[in-house]
Chains A and B, each alone.
Chain A
């Protein structure tokens, strides 16, 4: 392998990794606050791409407005899902909430099939994002810069919200203990709603970037990215936002390099992702940047 090909693959890895990272942030955030693995995250991501798609295809909105609307609607969807499927189970054993999350995931994927139809749709691609850029011998499109930049910006904004604002303080308090937080005057319900709104908005941003990059959208598209981002989040230390970004990048890099160095094994890249997950859980269950396990009673 020449240096040139290696660098091209580094570029490929950054593009894929930053997409995973973007999706993993939302995943890990909800877990961090609620200790809930939101399996519906992948489906929220899927529906966001359809919001953006229909905004342009049916309502003929300019793509900028459609994308913003899609993010807002998806945030709202996240809040509604939390109200309907998770809040009533807040005092139930954690397994019940997990099962509820899986149920929501199936429900949304199948509703998607009924409403949007089984055939794939083509995501609108503004020329702006597809401008080819030549870096020496390496070829990338504008998204190569946009997605990682967006990931970093969102990471900074999120850190600000969680650590510097009042609602962030409420979110962190809820993370420790719901009841005590409530006794201290924290509006826990509001903190949880905001968490879901932000987590879903992040899924929508990830979904739009995914659509811009991979063009094709379909009702089953949430499953694998959802699982991959779950792996990324666990790998980086679930609950840790910077860890999710790190995990996403490492997973993207790992997948690309596996194919690059062993093209004959390219068909096993999903298996590779899952092996990575198993190894991490065996060696360091808390993930790369994971905090010590806190047991909440």
Chain B
């Protein structure tokens, strides 16, 4: 009896809640933007840096269409299952109008289908794997994609470092790493014209801490450079072990190397490591870049990073789409988002193509005296 009564009262409550939901959907009193980012786990640094940028942008522009904007952050814990759950929560419980996220391609690829089914648009900050937006008309991104990034690093290794051979160590648990490793391999083979230019190819898994066997194998292959596109903590430990095993060749990576932890963990062992990323405060591109740098420095008292800049841009892109849509409706926002053209962001001029991807320049940074130094800017052809 008790349980039946409880069920009935629960049903009444649910009905009331859903009625409230309908009421607010008709006359919105606020704009809800969901954010799903890895705030803990193996990619925590990336998620936290991104969120700093999103918060900064929110402080700058807390209103749109005369309504206050509310940010709802959900931690996806660097976990693919949690990422899908986080998006489900944002669309079902919080009923967000748009979503920003996530650092980590695998996390975005896991959250994407959920948002698509719920018809809520997502603006990705830094997931660079092409599959994130491919076939998902509700996923967009503010960054370039990995076929370009892989080519940038292959070109850099070939032209600037004079490499004739390379070895690759990928993180098999991450779509980002596997994708980027393959794009690098294709581009490097094409550039050198030698189908055997990749002299070693091996893997590890996120969170592995012993890389000595892989590195002994790489040392034996004697490549001119090693490409190891993994997340910052794993990569820093990997480079440290490589140096202690006597590997002296340059190590190269992708945008996930950019985190203060990479230098803290790697110490002097990561000196000289090169990686590609989206943006450098040393090479401001647009008037918005300079404004962002000044704002970031005054709030956080440190030089800004790529992910904060992309987070900042993502928020501004979402607000821009809402303004152009004129209504707070996820589908209308999606349609406006797809038409984003010549948006002046901190990380460059953003125009989204048919897939929802941005075409932008990449920068190559090097660890020098414990900081990231700009060494090259590569524009897309």
Interface residues of A (CB under 8 A from B): 2, 5, 8-9, 12, 15-16, 113, 117-120, 122, 130, 132, 139, 141, 210, 213-216, 218-220, 224, 255-260, 263-264, 266-267, 269-270
Additional A-B contacts beyond A8-B245, A220-B40 (18; CB < 8 A) = A5-B217, A12-B210, A12-B212, A15-B212, A16-B210, A118-B40, A120-B44, A120-B233, A122-B264, A210-B209, A215-B240, A215-B265, A216-B236, A220-B42, A255-B210, A256-B210, A260-B216, A267-B173
**Nearest chain B residue, comparing its CB with the CB of A12:** B212
Interface residues of B (CB under 8 A from A): 39-42, 44-45, 48, 75, 172-173, 200-205, 207-210, 212-214, 216-217, 220, 233, 236-237, 240, 244-246, 261, 264-265, 267
**Nearest chain B residue, comparing its CB with the CB of A271:** B205
- Known contacts A122-B265, A214-B237; A264 and B212 CB within 8 A of each other: no
Q: Write out the residue numbers on chain A whose beta carbons fall within 8 Å of the beta carbon of B240.
A: 215
**A132 with B244: CB separation less than 8 A:** yes
Most buried by A among B200, B202, B213, B265: B213
What are 25 contact pairs spanning A and B, CB under 8 A?
A5-B220, A8-B216, A9-B216, A16-B212, A118-B44, A118-B48, A119-B44, A119-B45, A120-B44, A120-B265, A130-B244, A141-B244, A210-B209, A218-B44, A218-B233, A224-B207, A255-B210, A256-B210, A259-B214, A260-B216, A263-B217, A264-B201, A264-B203, A266-B213, A266-B214
From A15, A141, A216, A260, B237 is in contact (CB under 8 Å) with A216
In order of increasing CB-CB distance, the 8 nearest A-B pairs are A118-B40, A267-B172, A259-B213, A118-B44, A12-B212, A267-B203, A263-B202, A214-B209
C-alpha gap A214/B75 in the complex (Å): 26
Q: Write out the residue numbers on chain A whose beta carbons fall within 8 Å of the beta carbon of B220.
A: 2, 5
C-alpha gap A12/B246 in the complex (Å): 13
C-alpha gap A85/B173 in the complex (Å): 35
**A219 with B213: CB separation less than 8 A:** no
C-alpha gap A138/B208 in the complex (Å): 23
Q: Write out the residue numbers on chain B whose beta carbons fall within 8 Å of the beta carbon of A215.
A: 236-237, 240, 265
Q: Write out the residue numbers on chain B whose beta carbons fall within 8 Å of the beta carbon of A5.
A: 216-217, 220
**A119 with B48: CB separation less than 8 A:** yes
Least CB distance, A144 to chain B, in whole angstroms: 10
C-alpha gap A269/B172 in the complex (Å): 11
C-alpha gap A270/B172 in the complex (Å): 12
C-alpha gap A132/B236 in the complex (Å): 19
**B205 with A267: CB separation less than 8 A:** yes
Q: Write out the residue numbers on chain A whose beta carbons fall within 8 Å of the beta carbon of B261.
A: 119-120, 122, 216
C-alpha gap A255/B212 in the complex (Å): 11
Most buried by A among B48, B205, B207, B209: B209
Q: Write out the residue numbers on chain A whose beta carbons fall within 8 Å of the beta carbon of B210.
A: 12, 15-16, 214, 255-256
**Nearest chain B residue, comparing its CB with the CB of A270:** B205
C-alpha gap A266/B40 in the complex (Å): 26
C-alpha gap A101/B201 in the complex (Å): 40
Least CB distance, A100 to chain B, in whole angstroms: 24
Q: Write out the residue numbers on chain A whose beta carbons fall within 8 Å of the beta carbon of B264.
A: 122
**Nearest chain B residue, comparing its CB with the CB of A215:** B265
- Known contacts A119-B48, A130-B244, A267-B172; A12 and B213 CB within 8 A of each other: yes
Q: Write out the residue numbers on chain B whose beta carbons fall within 8 Å of the beta carbon of A219.
A: 40
**B237 with A9: CB separation less than 8 A:** no
**Nearest chain A residue, comparing its CB with the CB of B210:** A16
Least CB distance, B322 to chain A, in whole angstroms: 30
Most buried by A among B173, B265, B267: B265
Least CB distance, B188 to chain A, in whole angstroms: 18
Q: Write out the residue numbers on chain A whose beta carbons fall within 8 Å of the beta carbon of B233.
A: 120, 216, 218
**A256 with B212: CB separation less than 8 A:** yes
C-alpha gap A9/B213 in the complex (Å): 6
C-alpha gap A81/B145 in the complex (Å): 49
C-alpha gap A215/B44 in the complex (Å): 17
**B204 with A267: CB separation less than 8 A:** yes
**Nearest chain A residue, comparing its CB with the CB of B245:** A139
Q: Write out the residue numbers on chain B whose beta carbons fall within 8 Å of the beta carbon of A257.
A: 213
Least CB distance, A237 to chain B, in whole angstroms: 24
